[in-house]
Chain A
Amino acid sequence: MLNDDYLISVDNVSRIYRVGEVSVEALRGVSLDVTEGEAIAIMGPSGSGKTTLLNLIGALDRPTSGSVRIDGMDITKMDEKDLTAVRRDKISFVFQFFNLLPVLSAYENVELPLLIGGIEENARKERVDHLLELVGLTERAEHRPDELSGGEQQRVAIARALAKPKGQASSVIVLADEPTGDLDTRTGEEIMQVLRELTHTEGGTLIVVTHDPEVGQQMEKLYTMRDGTIVNVS
């Protein structure tokens, strides 16, 4: 099912891990298509293959068989240099435990992808200020992660996810793995709202892996996985 109209196209992907003599088939012929600007959720029990699928889409891992196309390009056939460029220009992550760099301030954490992308200083500043304003952290820009609450740290992580070079936010794929897993319910709801809204406003595409059915309900599509396969799409 190859279709270049899709931003993300996962086709019959399998991923087998080998631990010593034992082979574990984490994904078994999974196929999935996501259009630009779409927001989807992937749910399933632990070990069902959600994170493996997210890793493959995020170019952090390569499938044992099958293909993953981003913007029409088959990233499974790319060399490391091109993969780095894809990660730099197209893909962002939001982690459960925020994973901000502890030595950098909120501002610098958001600025980091732009620095890596070689954006010049004025454009960089304008973009970071804008994103911090969107997540409501302008006043906390100079604070380090250990001086921010969990919710604030996740907001910084969302702003960082949307800070991409070349002003190509419209094509950014935000991959969020349990983004509310380490937050209380209320903060979690706020964060999901921010994530959903901002990605939508900025024209990005959102894929959320979650255990939380409520989070799943907020997405446009919900994929349910079990034993390395997609068992339901709603």
Chain B
Amino acid sequence: MTALQVGYETFGGSRRKAVTLICLMLSSSLAAAITVYVDSYSMHKWDELVEIGPVAMEIGGAGVEHIADGVAEIDGVTDIAIFAAAEGSVTAIGTGGQPITWSASVFRYDQTLMTHFGNVFVLNKGAFPSATDEIALSAEIAQETDIDIGDLVNYTRGEPGIGGSYVMTVVGLWEFSGNSGSFHYGWQIAMVTGSMLDPRTDDSYLWIDVDRSRVSAFNVQGSLDYLLQIEESIRELDPTYDPDRDTGSRYWVNDGLRSGITNYASWQQGKRVAQLFRAGGPILLVVLTLFLAVRHNMNERRYESNILISRGADENKVRNMVYKEIMILAALSTIVGLGLGALLSRVGVMSSDYFVFRWELFVNEPFLISIESLALSAVAGILVPFGAILAYDYVYRIRQTAEESTGKLAKLTRLLGFVKWDVLLVSLTGIALIAMLATGTALQLNPLLRFFSNMILSLAPFALFLGMASLFIKALRAGANRISNRMEGIFGSIPSSVGIRRIGRAASSAGPVAMVLVLTISLAWSSAVIGDSLPLTKMNQARFTFGGDIRFDLDALNSFADANATEFVQNCTLHEAYVAGAELSITERMLSTGYYDAADLVAMDPSDYLAVGYDYTGQPLNESPLSSMLMELETSPMGAIISQDIAEEYELSVGDSLRSYGTEGGNVSVFTFTIIGIYEALTNALLSDTSGNIWGYYGAGFGLRTVWVNRGYLSQFVNFTTESRNMYAMRVADSSNTTEVALDILEAAGYQSTDGDDSANNDYADVDSEVRSYIGTTDYTMDRAVDTMLTIATTLVIFGAISVYAAEGLNSRRREIALMRAMGAGKRLIVKTQATELLVLTLSSIMLLLVFAPLLIVTTGLSQQTSYIIYPIRFFFSVPYGTLSLVLGFFLVSVTLFVVAVSSLATRIQLSQSLNASWSEGGPMGGDG
């Protein structure tokens, strides 16, 4: 009998190499997908930051006009013109009839300049000055004064009071086109003819443009180097310039193009790092799969290695030979991975939310692979596998050394082997997580603790997962027999005994496969839940913050619309979407005589507000525990509902008296209330957005230091018009768009939005626009798109891992199949046996999934930051069961199809060949280990 079939490594080698290539490809494609997505997405940012108009650089310095020819000859400079500016001021009559003076920079109108860079300016009206008594004003100042063509203004050369004054006729109104003004320091207010510039303060500058085809987002560093070279060449036109001797150049360069590119690069880098950090879970998946691939290679080549070692080859050299082959495969896989990653990035580009696609974006959106992306993907494609090899080598050597050595360290290592690290890891991480979750918002109040708790929340699930997975593998190993006995009734005797028990025997590779499956589905579920929960969180926070669906700041609106509050409120009630409304008057009072410990007293008509507001859990007040308290407040005008923190600080309980102090007009007034209710948090309806500010007051917690009181009672002591902020909160019909309703009402009241940007207005706030502006942010869009992309990428990881598992034991699997066939087992029984093994592995994974996934979802949810404001509930979980089922179904169907394919292929063997080959493999030299 021959010991080894001819061509053994040739055939087995190509299969092994294919499987390894697939696994290795994952790291480069994952890195490429993220970086290429960010690159492509960043093209909009590139356009925004780098489109600075026709002037690329402005050059200044004494006598700069004399180097114009030298600058023009510098490689890359395509256009040049001299322009002059001096100090000056313009005085005109404002809209209120009073004179207004602007002092800033005044340009000289120059025909040559206009020929070269005329499109820097956009002439809104009229013409540029052509006579000494003509002036063209910046449209910006013209707007403030209602100046128009033909009007007269007073122009003073130089500083006011020093230079001569001239009455000039306004002949034109201009502004900079796009971002064209960004290259020039200072503020420009007017343009006059050359002789009208102040000769004492006038300065000349050079405006230049450069060959922009050599500037590209593809090669940011190359672009920067190119621009820096031009800058340096300009500085070198000063013969005294010698940077080695710290002698500066008299010429300075304001490189608008370079600062645009620099801003772009830092924005892009920030996004890349943020997204790569978010991909921690998938990266762990890839590392696990790579570890499997390395292990598979070592096992598959064990026979060959043993032969070489038995013939005197150095063991290290043989192992290095295997490693070298893996690294060559890694280099090859990087190229394929880049292509796959680029394709995946398009999936990200067309995602507008988690698995919500706008298909046309696949083609329409820009596509960019920058040099950095290529480099990063190549590094990931090569370094990550190298890391997996080092990890495998380390584990292998440690185990071998510890097994063979008799020294103290080896004894200690063996001793540590008895310590159940997985139990320890699960216990410690579990305790840390429970402690953290139990502290509620307490940790959030301290920025440093908040940072660390978020770090722990992000990392702990994965540490916990490793521990749980290790225990799971042990359970598989120990429990396979028991499971096989129990499953006999379902799958039959042979599939159960042969198929299921094989899982126990191959637990070292079956376990990681299960881990990959569990982690992948958990990540996909987590992404789905987070994607669904973030808008809900924002909505509930907005409802709580604003005190209703829409909240109008009556004081601010009054000053604009000259309408009284009563009319405005009546106007609100007339809208078809109106459900209920309530006026809230908020006044700040002290809760002690020490002039500190202020609290917001929110005065309301309790029965009105009951139908309008929401509590901090997002529940409508009429359905929340606050309902009964508000009804009591209605009947007990002297009552007060206080926030929990006040009750704790002053050790107050229901029935106690609460005194508040005011100091209007130097007199101290004291109001006393009877506490009728204490609630975790109460809104003061003062904020007009929920984003907050990192250093803002509400970092201490929104909804605290608040007291709700009866409006009728407080009105006896407080003049709401002069002593409080007045808001009108509204509830609208469920199907209504709160933004549309708010704008309808404002329009009906004659109110004009000042800048058209809803979110910038503090005069009103509405829930829909708050949610919309949140989910419209770049970060939100990118996060959801990357989540979509990563979900698809991790599916590929599953296939990679199962391929390794299937290939890992292929020889022993074939031997078993051949044996069973030789005993007369039909193909159907063989397929059933193979399928049972993989299905039970999948089912076991689902059990682990049901434990791990909720944990990952909760911790991921709690580590989300939706606001700098600390809310009592930082995250509202919404479980999209449909999507979750879809995700699970997708994975199960994919895995099942894969299992069926693997099972069917495994039975397609040449019986005599497999048996003859396997007869040798069953012996002492062979086997899969």
Contact = CB atoms under 8 A, between A and B. Distances in A.
Interface of A: 19, 46, 51, 55, 58, 60-61, 80-81, 84-89, 91-93, 95-99, 101-104, 108, 112-113, 115-117, 177-178, 181-182
Contact of A99 (B1, B815, B825, B911): B815
A98 B920 CA distance: 10
B912 A85 contact: no
Contacts of B820: 112, 116
A45 to B, nearest CB: 12
Nearest to B503: A103
Contact of B498 (A103, A177, A178): A103
Interface string B410-434: 0000000000000000000000000
Nearest to B492: A115
Contacts of A91: 822
B923 interface: yes
21 contacts: A46-B1, A51-B916, A55-B915, A58-B822, A60-B912, A84-B821, A87-B821, A91-B822, A93-B915, A95-B919, A96-B1, A99-B919, A101-B498, A103-B501, A104-B497, A113-B824, A116-B820, A116-B824, A116-B825, A177-B919, A182-B923
B819 A99 contact: yes
Given A60-B822, A116-B825, A51 B1 contact: yes
Pick from A98, A101, A177, A181 the residue with the most CB of B within 10 Å. A101
B823 A113 contact: yes
B504 interface: yes
A116 B829 contact: yes
Interface-central residue, B822, B823, B922, by most chain A CB under 10 Å: B823
B823 A177 contact: no
Given A116-B823, A117-B824, A99 B2 contact: no
Contacts of A116: 494, 820, 823-825, 829
Contact of A97 (B2, B816, B821, B923): B923
Contact of A103 (B1, B504, B829, B912): B504
A59 B52 CA distance: 81
A113 B829 CA distance: 13
B918 interface: yes
Contact of B919 (A58, A97, A104): A97
B1 A89 contact: no
A160 B373 CA distance: 61
A108 B829 CA distance: 17
Q: Which 9 pairs between the two chains have the least Cβ-Cβ distance?
A: A88-B824, A103-B501, A97-B922, A61-B912, A97-B923, A60-B912, A55-B912, A87-B824, A60-B911
Contacts of B1: 46, 51, 96, 177-178, 181
Contacts of B912: 55, 60-61
Interface string B807-844: 00000100110011111111101000000000000000
Main SS at interface, chain A: mixed
B505 interface: yes
A104 B498 contact: yes
A51 to B, nearest CB: 7
Contact of B922 (A98, A103, A112, A117): A98
Contacts of A80: 827
Contacts of B493: 115
Contacts of A87: 821-824
Nearest to B481: A103
Contacts of B916: 51, 55
B606 to A, nearest CB: 73
Contacts of A46: 1-2
A96 B919 contact: yes
Contacts of B919: 95-97, 99, 177
B502 interface: yes
Contacts of A51: 1, 916
Contacts of B816: 101
A145 B918 CA distance: 17
B324 to A, nearest CB: 29
Given A97-B919, A97-B922, A101-B819, 10 more contacts: A86-B824, A87-B822, A88-B823, A88-B825, A96-B923, A97-B920, A103-B504, A113-B824, A116-B824, A116-B829
Nearest to B506: A103
Contacts of A58: 822
Contacts of B502: 103
B494 A60 contact: no
Contacts of B2: 46
A61 to B, nearest CB: 4
A55 B826 CA distance: 18
Which of A19, A60, A177 has the most chain B CB atoms inside 10 A of its CB?
Answer: A60
B911 A61 contact: yes
B832 to A, nearest CB: 12
A84 B825 CA distance: 7
Nearest to B911: A60
A181 B1 CA distance: 9
B6 interface: yes
Contacts of B812: 102
B497 A103 contact: yes
Nearest to B922: A97
B911 A95 contact: no
Nearest to B825: A116
Contacts of A104: 497-498, 501
Most buried by B among A60, A89, A103, A115: A103
B430 to A, nearest CB: 34
A61 B821 CA distance: 12
Contacts of A181: 1
Interface in B851-910: none
Contacts of B498: 101, 103-104
Nearest to A103: B501
Interface in B489-527: 493-494, 497-498, 501-502, 504-505
A19 B6 contact: yes
Given A84-B826, A87-B824, A95-B922, A108 B915 contact: no
Contacts of A96: 1, 919, 923
Nearest to A55: B912
Given A19-B6, A104-B497, A84 B922 contact: no
A96 B924 CA distance: 12
A225 to B, nearest CB: 14
Contacts of B497: 103-104, 108
A100 B498 CA distance: 12
Centre residue among A80, A86, A116 by max chain B CB count within 10 A:
A116
A5 B358 CA distance: 78
Contact of B505 (A93, A102, A115): A102
Contacts of B911: 60-61
A210 to B, nearest CB: 11
Contacts of B827: 80
Nearest to B819: A99
Contact of A60 (B825, B826, B915, B920): B915
Given A51-B916, A96-B919, A98-B922, A115 B826 contact: no
A60 B498 CA distance: 22
A93 B697 CA distance: 84
A115 B498 CA distance: 12
B262 to A, nearest CB: 62
A107 B829 CA distance: 20
A99 B817 CA distance: 11
A97 B812 CA distance: 13
A207 to B, nearest CB: 15
B284 to A, nearest CB: 31
B282 to A, nearest CB: 34
Contacts of A85: 824
Nearest to B921: A97
A84 B915 contact: no
A20 to B, nearest CB: 10
B829 A93 contact: no
A178 to B, nearest CB: 6
B823 A99 contact: no
A167 to B, nearest CB: 15
Contacts of B821: 84, 87
